[in-house]
């Protein structure tokens, strides 16, 4: 039984022109499978340069991986027949970050709801169409008479984003990938939108992949979580375990840096190393060990990956900033060590605390997560 959507050993590099050996590794050897049952909310948390937006676009087939593949029901996205591609678009939908750019300024907001109905023949006849649109709007807490017939600039950011959620609901997908859906929306409206997402998961049985840099909202609505740092998985598993008892130094740093809206809880005491040269935020730059020259960058990447056990990186990407860095951290990429049935961290500090997992085994940890939360 193949998963609904699966990334298998996916890497993505950018750059690597004609004479350029240095490429930017947006994502390194990422494997993750999303099942349609049970429907879970998975958070993918990372800062800029972590690769999370690249991951979203890869999962939707908007860009293609450099190595590895993205599978829908077992078939590579690039090789989908026309009918399968249709059903892929029905099963997997996306909510984008910018609630303004997603609207074509030439059309009223209705356009964004009418198009999928037309293309997917979701309803026939004016009545049925109207009914479907109204129902979806109401499902996200919007009043049709206050939103339809308007142009995008006449509505607030929160309303526009909610219409996008309504659009996703229209298609009754099995999976919604939400890329920073609330980061450009006012704080007071965020809660409503996030609540809608949570409802979609609970009441409509949709799985949600919630991509964000905001650990707090991720914690609030997710069952399990993957923390990305510069293209690699730092820590993953059940969201309560990861957030309450973070093991990876980066996760710890992240949590301690989140400003709690409570003056009685000051910023945490994890030091940020100041003796290192500042590393510019952003994806890791790597030299492929095969000169790229006139070869496409993909070929060079595959060769490098084979040489490094599937990885493009040669050491832990956090080594430069880690307060606990050791010599071995720069020599090889730490594998994911399983510290709990529902949690793993990629850090050599835990090399003796649990079995090392292969890249594909991340799914076992993620599947165990969430179910424990459910039983509590």
Partner 1 sequence: MATLAQEQALPTYETRASRLGVVATGTFRYLRRNPELIVGLCLLAALMAFVAFGHALVDLDKARPLSTRPLLPPSPVLPFGSDKQGRNLLAVMVVGTPQTLEIGVLAGLIGVSVGTVLALVSAFYRGAADAIIRGVVDVGLTIPGLMVLITLAMNVKGGLTIPQMILVVAALAWLFPARVIRAQVLSSREKAYIDVARLSGMPTPAIIVKEVLPNLMPFIVASLVGSVSAAVLASVGLEVLGLGSFDSLTIGMTLYWVIYYAAIINSWWWWWLPPIVIIIMLFTGLFLIAVGLDEFANPRLRRRT
Partner 2 sequence: MATDVLRVEDLRVWYHTPRGPVKAVDGVSFGLLSNERLGLVGESGSGKSTIALALMRLIRPPGRIEGGRVQLDGVNLLEIADEPMRRLRLAAIALVAQGAMNSLNPVVRVREQIIDGMRDHDEKLTKQAAAARVASLLDQVGLKPEVADRFPHELSGGMKQRVCIAIAIALRPKVILADEPTSALDVVVQRQVMETLKRVQEQLGASVVLVGHDMGLMAQFVHRLGVMYAGRLVEVSPVGEIFVEPLHPYTRLLIGSLPSLEEKGKFQGIPGLPPSVLERPSGCSFHPRCPHAMPRCSVEDPQLQQVRPNRWVACHLYDESESNGKVVVSP
Binding string, residues 152-171; x marks residues near partner 1 by CB under 8 A: --x------------x----
Q: Which listed range, 85-93, 218-226, 285-293, 311-319, lies at the site for partner 1 (CB under 8 A)?
A: 85-93
| 159 is a contact residue toward partner 2 (CB under 8 A) | yes
Phi-psi category of residue 51: left, alpha or beta, with phi > 0 → left and psi -120 to 50 → alpha: left
CB 142 within 8 A of CB 166: yes
Backbone phi, psi, residue 6, to 5°: -140, 135
Binding string, residues 99-138; x marks residues near partner 2 by CB under 8 A: ----------------------------------------
Q: Which listed range, 47-55, 88-96, 200-208, 328-336, lies at the site for partner 1 (CB under 8 A)?
A: 88-96
Answer for which of 15, 47, 110, 120 binds partner 1 (CB under 8 A) is: 120
Binding string, residues 269-308; x marks residues near partner 2 by CB under 8 A: ---x-x--xxxxxx--------------------------
Q: Where are the alpha helices (DSSP H) in the chain?
A: 52-59, 82-91, 110-120, 126-139, 144-147, 157-170, 187-204, 215-221, 239-244, 249-257, 297-307, 327-331, 362-368, 371-375
Tally of CA atoms within 13 A in the half-sphere of 252 that contains its CB: 16
Answer for which of 36, 73, 76, 192 binds partner 2 (CB under 8 A) is: 192
| 328 is a contact residue toward partner 2 (CB under 8 A) | no
CB 12 within 8 A of CB 58: yes
Asked whether the bond before 38 is cis by omega within 30 degrees of 0, the reply is: yes
154 binds, among partner 1, partner 2, none (CB under 5 to 8 A by kind): partner 1
3 state SS of 78: helix
Residue corresponding to tokens 């400003």: 259
Least gap, CB of 128 to partner 2 (angstroms): 30
Binding string, residues 247-276; x marks residues near partner 2 by CB under 8 A: ------xxxxxxxxxxxxxxx----x-x--
Parallel/antiparallel/unpaired status of strands 75-76 and 67-72:
antiparallel
106 binds, among partner 2, partner 1, none (CB under 5 to 8 A by kind): partner 1
Least gap, CB of 217 to partner 1 (angstroms): 21
CB 41 within 8 A of CB 222: yes
| 169 is a contact residue toward partner 2 (CB under 8 A) | no
Tally of CA atoms within 13 A in the half-sphere of 164 that contains its CB: 30
Give the angle 143-181-248 at the CA atoms, nearest 5°. Answer: 145
Least gap, CB of 26 to partner 1 (angstroms): 17
Give the footprint of partner 1 on this chain (CB under 8 A). Answer: 60, 62, 86, 89, 93-94, 96, 98, 101-107, 112, 115-116, 119-120, 146, 150, 154, 167
Q: What residues line the site for partner 2 (CB under 8 A)?
A: 47-48, 156-159, 186-195, 213-217, 219-220, 240, 243, 253-267, 272, 274, 277-282
């Amino acid at each position: 039984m193949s998963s609904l959507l699966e990334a298998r050993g996916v890497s993505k590099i950018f750059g690597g022109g004609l004479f350029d050996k240095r490429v930017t590794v947006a994502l390194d050897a990422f494997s993750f499978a999303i099942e349609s049952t049970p429907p879970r909310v998975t958070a993918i948390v990372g800062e800029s340069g972590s690769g999370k937006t690249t991951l979203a676009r890869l999962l939707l087939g908007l860009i293609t991986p450099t190595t590895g593949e993205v599978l829908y029901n077992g078939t590579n996205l690039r090789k989908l027949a026309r009918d399968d591609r249709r059903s892929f678009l029905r099963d997997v939908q996306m909510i984008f970050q910018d609630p303004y750019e997603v609207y074509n300024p030439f059309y009223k907001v209705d356009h964004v709801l009418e198009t999928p109905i037309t293309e997917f023949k979701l309803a026939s006849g004016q009545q049925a169409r109207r009914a479907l649109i109204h129902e979806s709007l109401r499902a996200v807490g919007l009043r049709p008479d206050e939103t339809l017939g308007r142009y995008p600039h006449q509505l607030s950011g929160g309303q526009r984003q909610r219409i996008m959620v309504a659009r996703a609901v229209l298609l009754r997908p099995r999976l919604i990938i939400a890329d920073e859906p609330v980061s450009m929306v006012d704080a007071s409206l965020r809660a409503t939108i996030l609540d809608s997402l949570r409802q979609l998961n609970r009441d409509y049985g949709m799985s949600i992949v919630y991509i964000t840099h905001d650990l707090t909202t991720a914690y609030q609505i997710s069952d399990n979580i993957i923390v990305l740092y510069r293209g690699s998985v730092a820590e993953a598993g059940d969201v309560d375990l990861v957030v309450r008892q973070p093991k990876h130094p980066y996760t710890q740093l992240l949590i301690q840096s989140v400003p709690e809206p409570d003056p009685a809880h000051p910023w945490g005491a994890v030091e940020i190393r100041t003796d290192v040269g500042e590393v510019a935020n952003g994806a890791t730059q790597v030299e492929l060990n095969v000169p790229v020259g006139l070869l496409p960058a993909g070929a060079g990447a595959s060769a490098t990956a084979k040489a490094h056990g599937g990885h493009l990186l040669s050491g832990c990407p956090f080594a430069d900033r880690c307060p606990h860095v050791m010599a071995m951290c720069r020599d090889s990429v730490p594998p994911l060590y399983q510290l709990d049935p529902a949690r793993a961290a990629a850090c050599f500090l835990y090399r003796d605390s649990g079995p090392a997992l292969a890249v594909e085994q991340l799914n076992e940890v993620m599947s165990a997560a969430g179910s424990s939360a459910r039983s509590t």
